[in-house]
């Protein structure tokens, strides 16, 4: 998690509810956020895998781009195929800089008469400024600071949502739909950050607590904090901005080459296109990989990775205990020559060499509603 700053922490519309539920609150990306509730991270993680968990992700940035040129304008900043994004479809992409580095990762939805963007909390001010400066003359950029964002995740999330909005049962992974939930007008995307099926729910801030209480009243649903959110996304092999991806990494190095649309590979036209297209053709010197340490000791961020002869290979970018896996797991970057599945490596944990091996991501299979 990102360190908190000395500035006063902001609060989401669900702050009072978190306190009522006994959450342990911490500073994260400038907000006072629940890291866990009284049952603890392990129980919350397991509940999300088995039933349905409700996350407050209102610290994330929500932005609309409006104008006839919105899709083409956004393509000037990202390598994704936004012009080909169908109505009520959502796509994951990244902002890139002129060197091909990742400024942020984001979700883009074609809502019909506008594009709806969700960006990371720690980057949202820079992202909005980037949008205004680069394409503000072509589109209207609007931050939706008056909206909250909730995530309902887990194998029973769809059944819970269908109880209030039956039409959502037909939604597929990475689709969008306006829906009325408990009398509250919401925007739903069938997506999330856990590897499980579920929804992200954009809701007016003044209705967020009512919606959260309604969902938490369902027997399948429990509140989940940032601690379990992190262990869930790590098991799912999903990147955390500022850790697994940043301006020093390109989408190809990060094993995210699939975000570069086929048409964009041919035509370019986005920042860093020359570097990224060259890497797609020639490969990269390093790659993001999954790592399974032997034994019970986890390998945390910045743990050095070396080969059997103590030659540096890279470092861990995210690591911890995987509750579903039942042991320590990590992601990091290693030299491409050592990135093959099954390759043995050594981790320098507190000055001691500990054996590990490169493994395929994700650690836990995704269960998205694709078919």
Mean pLDDT of 239-245: 98
Domain hosting residue 25, numbered range: 15-58+146-235
Q: Do the domain assignments include residue 35?
A: yes
Model confidence band, residue 2 (pLDDT cutoffs 50, 70, 90) = very low
Residue 273 in any domain: the answer is no
CATH code, domain with 230: 3.30.1360.120
CATH number of the domain to which 309 belongs = 2.40.30.110
Q: Domain end: 143, 166, 200, which one?
A: 143
pLDDT digit string (tens) for 264-305? 999 999 999 999 999 999 999 999 999 999 999 899 999 999
Domain boundary among 108, 124, 143: 143
pLDDT at 3: 43
Structure tokens at 250: 């390109």
Where does the pLDDT of residue 146 fall: very low under 50, low under 70, confident under 90, or very high at 90 and above? very high
Nearest to 234 by CA among 325, 107, 155: 325
What is the distance between the alpha carbons of residues 302 and 348, in angstroms, rounded to a whole number? 10
Mean pLDDT of the chain: 97
Of 43, 37, 42, nearest in space to 25 by CA: 37
What is the rounded (10 degree) CA torsion for 182, 367, 89, 264? 150
Residues 206 and 325 in one domain: no
pTM: 0.96
| Per-residue model confidence (pLDDT) at position 6 | 65
Domain shared by 130 and 154, yes or no: no
Q: Do residues 196 and 49 make contact, with C-beta atoms less than 8 angstroms apart?
A: yes
The answer to whether residue 7 is domain-embedded is no
Instruction: Report if residue 171 sits inside a domain.
Output: yes
Question: Same structural domain for residues 174 and 162?
Answer: yes
Identify whether residues 167 and 23 lie together within a single domain.
yes
pLDDT (0 to 100) of residue 4: 44
- Report DSSP letters for 308-330, one per residue: TT--EEEEEEEEEEETTTTEEEE
- 89 and 222 assigned to the same domain: no
- pLDDT tens for 337-358 read 999 999 999 999 988 999 999 9
pLDDT in tens, 16-70: 999 999 999 999 999 999 999 999 999 999 999 999 999 999 999 999 999 999 9
pLDDT value of residue 7: 79
How many domains does the structure of the chain reveal? 3
Task: Determine the pLDDT at residue 260.
Answer: 98
Percent of the chain residues topping a pLDDT of 90: 96
Q: Does residue 231 share a domain with residue 162?
A: yes
Together in a domain, 183 and 300: no
Pick the closest to residue 331 from 233, 234, 259 (CA basis). 234
Query: Is residue 42 in a domain?
Result: yes
What is the arithmetic mean of pLDDT over 242-252?
98
Residue 1: pLDDT band (50, 70, 90) is very low
Question: Domain check: are 161 and 91 in the same one?
Answer: no
Q: Exposed, middle or buried, 38 (CB in 10 Å: 0-12/13-18/19+)?
A: exposed
- The reply to whether 160 falls in a domain is yes
Would you say 334 and 345 are in contact if contact means Cβ atoms under 8 Å apart?
yes
* Same structural domain, 32 and 168: yes
pLDDT the model gives residue 350 = 86
Last residue of a domain, one of 220, 235, 250: 235
- Does 226 fall in a domain? yes
Task: Compute the half-sphere exposure of residue 100: CA atoms within 13 Å on the CB side of its CA.
Answer: 20
Residue whose structure tokens are 């796509």:
91
Q: What is the pLDDT of residues 70-121, one digit of tens each?
A: 999 999 999 999 999 999 999 999 999 999 999 999 999 999 999 999 999 9
> Both tokens of residue 233?
């996304």
Residues 135 and 28 in one domain: no
Over the stretch 175-228, which tens digit does the pLDDT of each residue have? Answer: 999 999 999 999 999 999 999 999 999 999 999 999 999 999 999 999 999 999
Residues 36, 75: one domain? no
3-class SS of residue 240:
coil
What's the pLDDT at 351?
A: 84
Claim to verify: residue 53 and residue 161 sit in the same structural domain: yes
The answer to whether residue 277 is domain-embedded is no
């Amino acid at each position: 998690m990102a360190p908190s700053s000395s500035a006063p922490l902001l609060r989401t519309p669900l702050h009072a509810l978190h306190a009522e539920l006994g959450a342990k609150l911490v500073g994260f990306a400038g907000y006072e956020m629940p890291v866990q509730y009284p049952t603890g991270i392990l129980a919350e993680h397991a509940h999300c895998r088995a039933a349905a968990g409700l996350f407050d992700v209102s610290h994330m940035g929500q932005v609309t781009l409006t104008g006839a040129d919105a899709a083409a304008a956004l393509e000037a900043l990202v390598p994704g195929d936004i012009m080909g994004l169908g109505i009520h479809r959502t796509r994951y992409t990244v902002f890139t800089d002129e060197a091909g580095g990742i400024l942020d990762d984001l979700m883009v939805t074609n809502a019909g008469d506008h594009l709806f963007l969700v960006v990371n909390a720690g980057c949202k001010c820079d992202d909005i400024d980037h949008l205004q400066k680069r394409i503000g003359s072509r589109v209207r950029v609007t931050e939706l600071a008056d909206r909250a964002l909730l995530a309902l995740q887990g194998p029973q999330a769809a059944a819970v949502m269908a109880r209030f909005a039956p039409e959502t049962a037909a939604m597929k992974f990475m689709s969008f739909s306006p829906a009325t939930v408990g009398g509250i007008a919401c925007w739903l995307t069938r997506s999330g950050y856990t590897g499980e099926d579920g929804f992200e729910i954009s809701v007016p801030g003044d209705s967020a607590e009512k919606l959260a209480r309604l969902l938490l009243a369902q027997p399948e649903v429990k509140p989940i904090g940032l601690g379990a959110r992190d262990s869930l996304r790590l098991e799912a092999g999903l990147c955390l901005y500022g850790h697994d991806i940043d301006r020093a990494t390109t989408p190809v190095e990060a094993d995210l080459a699939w975000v570069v649309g086929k048409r964009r590979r041919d035509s370019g036209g986005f920042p860093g296109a020359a570097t990224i297209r060259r890497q797609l053709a020639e490969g990269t010197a390093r790659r993001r990989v999954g790592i399974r340490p032997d034994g019970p000791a986890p390998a945390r961020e910045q743990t050095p990775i070396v080969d059997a002869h103590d030659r540096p290979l890279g470092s861990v970018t995210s690591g911890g205990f995987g509750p579903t896996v039942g042991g320590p797991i990590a992601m990091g970057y290693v030299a491409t020559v050592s990135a093959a599945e099954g390759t043995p490596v050594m981790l320098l944990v507190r000055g001691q060499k500990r054996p590990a091996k490169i493994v395929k991501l994700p650690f836990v299979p995704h269960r998205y509603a694709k078919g």
